[in-house]
Amino acid sequence: MTLAIVRVPVLTDNYAWLIHDPVSGETVAVDPGEAAPVQAAAAERGWTIDQVWTTHWHPDHIGGNAALQAAGARITGPAAEAAKIPTLDSTVGEGDTVRIGTEVAHVWHVPGHTAGHIAFHLAGADAIFTGDTLFALGCGRLFEGTPAEMFANMQRYATLPDTTQVYCGHEYTQSNGRFALTVEPDNAALAMRMTAVDAARAAGEATVPTTIALERATNPFLRATDAGEFAKLRESKDNFRG
């Protein structure tokens, strides 16, 4: 049986994720910005949250950790940010692994948004949890890192199979897409995608997860050819008001 992955809206525009293994009965919460909606989503499915996987220290990604820990969940997160995440029970970094049932997630160090940011790649489930690094049609702001670091992350994500599902931390797709259209106004795949995104948002629907194939075709940050081009894109996006 395959893993079940459930999107849980939290706070204003964040997404937490529940991963459930029907064989072992284990459930992981990824980046629970607040506890109550995540606990409610698990409870309505009869699941108990056993673990929390944290991608980075920002409060909108760890706000629910303490309550979930108090309810019995074990918290795992980036070793490089342990001083900023007091709830951590265990720490991981590049090359480490975590498990849900028999499924193994490989930890990637993907700095830039924060210095110690990590991602969780479940190759067996064709899924990666990217936090605030790779977004649908965009990438995270560089609060603690360099364009070269984030460009390297994008290049690494681009090596994943086309079918890899990308589970990111925010509903930013529409605003990201508006910027992307200014970069590639003649990209037919992007224009088609934005038509679908606008329709989904008008109907109150989510636009993630996405796929690596879709991001390769339409995400200007994943399509940048070098760190210099990436840096110009990131600066332009930071100043974009569309």
Active site residue 61: yes
Given 60, 96, 126, 198, which residue is catalytic?
60
My answer on whether omega of the bond before 209 falls inside 30° of 0, hence cis, is yes
Q: Is 132 annotated as a binding residue?
A: yes
121 is in an annotated binding site: no
Q: Give catalytic status of residue 121 as yes or no.
A: no
Catalytic, 132? Answer yes
| Cβ-based burial of 102 (10 A; exposed 0-12, middle 13-18, buried ≥19) | exposed
Cα dist from 151 to 125, 139, 165, whole Å = 25, 10, 20
Residue type, 84: K
Which residue is catalytic, options 20, 113, 117, 121? 113
Distance CA 143, CA 120 (A): 21
Catalytic residue from among 58, 109, 117, 121? 58
Active-site residue, 170 included:
yes
Query: Does 117 belong to an annotated binding site?
Result: no
Q: Is 109 annotated as a binding residue?
A: no
Could you count the other beta carbons within 10 Å of the beta carbon of residue 235?
A: 12
User: How far, in Å, CA of 53 to CA of 30, rounded?
Assistant: 5
**20 is known to lie in a ligand binding site:** no
Q: Note if 58 is an active site residue.
A: yes
Task: Choose, from 20, 109, 117, 170, the residue flagged as catalytic.
Answer: 170
Summarize the annotated binding site as residue ranges.
Answer: 56, 58, 60-61, 113, 132, 170
Active-site residue list: 56, 58, 60-61, 113, 132, 170
Summarize the annotated binding site for Zn(2+) as residue ranges.
Answer: 56, 58, 60-61, 113, 132, 170
